[in-house]
Amino acid sequence: MPPSHFLDSLLDSTGAIFDQAQISTANHRKNCVALHKLFVKAANLTQTSKNGAIMLAGEKAFGDVFVDMTSRIVVVKKGPPVVDRIVKFIGAFVKFVNEKAMEHVAHPSDPSTSSITDDEDDDTPASRFVARLLKWLSQGFAAKNKVVRFRTVSIVSEMIFSLGAIDEDAYTVLRDELMERTLDKESLVRAHAVVALSKLIGTEDIDDLEPGEKSIMQAVLECLCLDSAAEVRRAALINVPVSPLTLPAILTRTRDTDPIMRKLVYASVLMKKVEHPRQLTIADREQVVRDGLGDREDAVRIAAGKVLGVWFDMVQVDGDNGTEKPSDSMTQGLVRFLEIFDVIGPGEQIATDALLSVFMTRMDVLDSMCFTKEFWDNLSPESALLARTFIEHCVSADGQGRLDASALPEVTAFAFLVQEAFNQLLGVIEEDEEARLLGNEEDMDEENQDRREEQRTQREFILSELLKSAVHLDYTDEVGRRKLLVVIRELLAHAYLPEILIERCLDVLKVIVHGERELIRLSVEAILDLRDEVEKQAAGDSQLINDESELDLTQMTINRERSMRRTKEARDMTPEEKIQADAVDVRCLSICIATLERVNCSFEDNSVLEGILADLIIPAVKRKESLLREKGLISLGLCCLIAKNMALSSFQLFLSQVQGAPEGLKLKVLQVVFDLLMVYDKEFFGRSEDVAERILTFLLQTLEYEESVAVQAVISMGISKLLLCGVVTDTRVLTSLVLAYVSPATAENLELRQCLSYFFPVYCYSYPLHQSRMQSIFITAYDLITRVFEDLEDDQEMISPYQFGLLFIDWTNPQKAAKMEDTNVVSRDVHVDLAIDILKALYDSDRSDEDQKTLSQLLGHLYVPDDLETSSMLKLDILVSHLQEQCPLENSAIAKLFERFKIRFMKQFSGRLGKIHRQEYICTDDFVQLYEYIGVGIPKYEDPPVSDAEVAGESDVEPPPVEAPPERGR
């Protein structure tokens, strides 16, 4: 074919190929080959100019045709799949052209690449074609038409990974233009710009950037974390490379507002791009588990569970190599899985949740669990946590069969395990104490001190996990029960038992003893033993628990001759003895607190507590040392919870301790105060209005003037519980909580805000009467909020009065209230009453235009039911009809807002209003007061004409309610 004919037919040939490419992506490879042949043939066609220069006529013609084909899709809106196929085809062809060019460099004699003849490697027909196409597409980046911007950027993002070698100037221009498109107002454009930039991250050298210039990595990560459109954040997440630099930003998306985004973090990044969990730090792994398993969306939790299953398989393969028995392999694999977390401290619960997730998703793991003797002889923090979690899971899931198959030790053997674990802990403690007494502690280097501290912490954790496991054992074995009782009793009375384990010991005691009286007596015995052994608390006098020790059951009843009182007064003690005595008292109070938290019997039924109260608790309350006084007050408060008379007589003491107390003590005392108010609500709020008034005034004033955010949160939480339980019904308490919720002074108090954001919807939706109370405080609260908003300082933030009004409308929406059987407890028309309050507020001529505008806007959001009560409908009609006469709305925009509500109201109720016998209603006190408020005289109405249907008894107007006469004797 002559060259001229080929060039003339090039448009039709190329068009035919593009037509085929838009049908299906399956034929793209074949069409790339066909189009490349045309490209090669066109590249070989040259022309000589008059001055003898060689012109690339074929290349130019092919480029013109290709650009013409591309220009036909850049104006097509998103949607047609045929256009997306053409975009993919353009990217595929660019890749194909560059691959062929690279083949020519590697095999210059290959006839298939003969079109690239004597050109330099960096200036080939392929590079010139790509450069021209890229230059043409970049012109559309700044087009006014958003479709053109979207299509051109999407084509570049499709072909950018296959651009091949481009000159530095073109690269810089492309980079800058794409960076600019990340700020485009259209989210689709930003998304494709992020995709394109993500592919350029590896090509950028940070050292080449100007000082202060943003890198591509920074731009993509900003889009990932800060872009308002979820689709842009998703594009950045999927395309950004995973590295130590990007992982922190990627993991922040586990708390993204978009559930699909949160799921993609687990399904697309953590599961597919992270090769091993150890690529993440321990803190990152804990965040993955905490956010994933704690997500509100089922799909996210499922994806997080799959990630943990993949991690378990990875760490199991790392250590197994297929050499261990299946049961041992599974147990050891789980231990290795737990080793990727920090199981001691705050990470304990996270590791437990991760392990439970594996149990739930991998039933084969549960079925293969087997605890050998070697396992129990070499307990580590991870293995102890594994055993405890497995036991608790089986107990909660009714998996007694799995417990039996796992070869758990009997109770007697378990008692020896607890005993041995404590002896090992005691050995570490004694070594530390001996080093302290000998003065060797300062001589130890920091590394050795950290190692000893870690060893002690691990031993404490192992013993704690064993005690937690002991709670769930089968105590039908009396011999084992008695043995464990001996061990736990000795632990509790030992001076070196860490305080953190006291509660664990009492949990076990509560299970194995017969009733609360026995639990109290054992605890008091332990306290007496500790006080009797003050002189023996020197470091060298502590002894390991004897394996042969037995508990004399005849001593279960406390010897009455034993006394709590010390033989030596405090003034007669040396400073060392005072320190030792105070330490013992702190431990005794801790035992007392843990015991009282676990009993519900009456104080009077346990006379042994009287000695504890008189000789331990009361003296501690009188002490000046904050730790002793705090524990003493907590113990006294727990005694009050089971002794009503003591609570009534001691309540004023607790209130007095709030004033001027340190923050930690104030928090504990306030918790005691609210516990007493909840337990004895009738005594404090039901007998005397004066007492109730003083208590509420004290709490509200403390909330208003307290500076500690923690104390504010505790008071708000306590008052919320009192309101939610119906103990407190005073509306001024509601007003104070509403102000605390939106006040700029509590903007940084996230705990308070979170508590109240949960409380208000639950309070309002749980009972219609609560919505009525909220409605009654609206105008008062609105006016207070408005004044605070007007006085805001520059560095303060709070919601606007309009947003506050929308919150109230949502809380008082009767459609969201729980359905109650007794619908007569309060009017259903809460929003109607709110509308009446707002309309009455509009009659106040002193209100600003901004106030009137906000209130008029809120009227349009209220729900007014069609079956409205007649009296409420008449009140609305009176207020709506006389507003413009009595208090004209001079602002036209405000008048339109009000007129819109008036038209909606009249359209909804004009038919019923015309049939009402108004004279029967307007003479009542409510209507007389309403007319007086708006300054209108009470009119006189004639009865409306009676229609034929009404004469026949077919009227649809409901008769006024008739009250039944009271029954005799009432």
**How far is residue 843's CA from residue 578's CA, in Å, rounded to a whole number?**
72
pLDDT at residue 939, as a whole number? 79
Span 243-264, average pLDDT: 94
pLDDT at residue 556, as a whole number? 40
pLDDT at residue 108, as a whole number? 58
Span 327-341, average pLDDT: 84
Residue 254 lies in a domain: yes
For the purposes of burial, counting CB atoms within 10 Å of the CB of 277, is it exposed (0-12), middle (13-18) or buried (19 or more)? buried
Q: Read off the pLDDT band of 606 (50, 70, 90).
A: confident
Residue 662 lies in a domain: no
pLDDT at residue 210, as a whole number? 80
Span 654-668, average pLDDT: 90
**How far is residue 685's CA from residue 239's CA, in Å, rounded to a whole number?**
62
pLDDT at residue 352, as a whole number? 95
Question: H-helix or E-strand containing 118?
Answer: none
- Predicted confidence (pLDDT) at residue 199 exceeds the cutoff of 60: yes
pLDDT tens digits, one per residue of 64-121 = 899 999 999 999 888 778 898 999 999 999 889 888 888 766 665 554 444 444 444 5
The three-state DSSP-derived secondary structure of 610-671 is HHHHHHHHHHHHHCCCHHHHHHHHHHHHHHHHCCHHHHHHHHHHHHHHHCCCCHHHHHHHHH
Span 854-862, average pLDDT: 94
In DSSP terms, 735 is beta-bridged to none
Q: Are 179 and 197 in contact (CB under 8 A)?
A: yes
Residue 469 lies in a domain: no
Q: Read off the pLDDT band of 963 (50, 70, 90).
A: very low
- Predicted confidence (pLDDT) at residue 552 exceeds the cutoff of 50: no
Name which residue leads in pLDDT, 508 or 400: 508
Q: Among 289-303, 648-662, 935-949, which is the least confidently predicted range?
A: 935-949
Domain that holds residue 275: 243-320+328-370
Q: Read off the pLDDT band of 542 (50, 70, 90).
A: very low
- Predicted confidence (pLDDT) at residue 170 exceeds the cutoff of 90: no
Residue/partner pairs of 39-46 with CB below 8 Å, 24 or more apart: 39/97, 39/115, 39/125, 39/129, 40/113, 40/114, 40/115, 41/6, 41/115, 42/6, 42/7, 42/10, 43/115, 43/116, 43/125, 44/114, 44/115, 45/3, 45/6, 45/7
Q: What is the largest CA-CA distance in the chain?
A: 128
Q: Give residues with Cβ within 8 angstroms of 501, minimum separation 6.
A: 460, 463, 464, 467, 491
CA–CA distances in Å: residue 843 to residues 829, 851, 889: 22, 12, 10
Residue 957 lies in a domain: no
Q: Give residues with Cβ within 8 angstroms of 52, minimum separation 6.
A: none
Q: What tokens does 198 get?
A: 């993500």
Residue 929 lies in a domain: yes
Q: What tokens does 365 get?
A: 């793991």
Q: Give residues with Cβ within 8 angstroms of 533, minimum separation 6.
A: 495
**How far is residue 501's CA from residue 491's CA, in Å, rounded to a whole number?**
9
- Which of 370, 389, 404 is a domain's end point? 370
Span 686-691, average pLDDT: 88
pLDDT at residue 319, as a whole number? 52
- Predicted confidence (pLDDT) at residue 254 exceeds the cutoff of 50: yes
pLDDT at residue 168, as a whole number? 81
Q: What tokens does 279 get?
A: 């690529």
Q: Give residues with Cβ within 8 angstroms of 645, minimum separation 6.
A: none
Q: Give residues with Cβ within 8 angstroms of 36, minimum separation 6.
A: 93, 96, 97, 100
Backbone angles phi, psi at 962, to 5 degrees: -110, 120
- Predicted confidence (pLDDT) at residue 362 exceeds the cutoff of 70: yes
pLDDT, the chain, mean: 85
Q: What tokens does 770 get?
A: 């609560």
Q: Are 340 and 285 in contact (CB under 8 A)?
A: yes
Question: H-helix or E-strand containing 791?
Answer: none
Kindly report the length of the chain. 970
- Residue linked to tokens 């040259």: 46
Q: Is 726 left (phi over 0), alpha (psi -120 to 50) or beta?
A: left
> For the packed helices 575-596 and 516-532, what is the interaxial angle rounded to 10 degrees?
170
In DSSP terms, 55 is beta-bridged to 47
pLDDT at residue 817, as a whole number? 87
Span 869-891, average pLDDT: 89
Residue 688 lies in a domain: no
Residue/partner pairs of 813-820 with CB below 8 Å, 24 or more apart: 813/771, 813/863, 814/768, 814/771, 814/863, 814/865, 815/863, 816/764, 816/765, 817/764, 817/765, 817/766, 817/767, 817/768, 817/771, 818/765, 818/766, 818/767, 820/767, 820/768
Share of the chain above pLDDT 90, in %: 53
Q: Read off the pLDDT band of 33 (50, 70, 90).
A: very high
pLDDT at residue 545, as a whole number? 52
pLDDT at residue 943, as a whole number? 56
- What Rg do the C-alpha atoms of the chain give, in angstroms? 40
pLDDT tens digits, one per residue of 440-454 = 655 566 777 888 889
Span 20-39, average pLDDT: 90
**How far is residue 259's CA from residue 300's CA, in Å, rounded to a whole number?**
7
- Within a 13 Å sphere around the CA of 120, how many CA atoms are in the beta-carbon half? 3
CA–CA distances in Å: residue 441 to residues 454, 538, 874: 15, 17, 85
- Predicted confidence (pLDDT) at residue 587 exceeds the cutoff of 90: yes
- Predicted confidence (pLDDT) at residue 955 exceeds the cutoff of 50: no
Residue 200 lies in a domain: no
DSSP 287: H
Q: Are 145 and 75 in contact (CB under 8 A)?
A: yes
- Predicted confidence (pLDDT) at residue 571 exceeds the cutoff of 80: no
- Predicted confidence (pLDDT) at residue 153 exceeds the cutoff of 70: yes
- Number of structural domains found in the chain: 2
Q: Read off the pLDDT band of 431 (50, 70, 90).
A: confident
Q: Read off the pLDDT band of 161 (50, 70, 90).
A: confident
Q: Among 306-320, 406-420, 865-879, which is the least confidently predicted range?
A: 306-320
Instruction: Quickly list DSSP for 804-843.
Output: HHHHHHHHT-GGGSPP-S-GGGS-S-HHHHHHHHHHHHHT
- Predicted confidence (pLDDT) at residue 890 exceeds the cutoff of 90: no
Q: Give residues with Cβ within 8 angstroms of 88, minimum separation 6.
A: 25, 28, 158
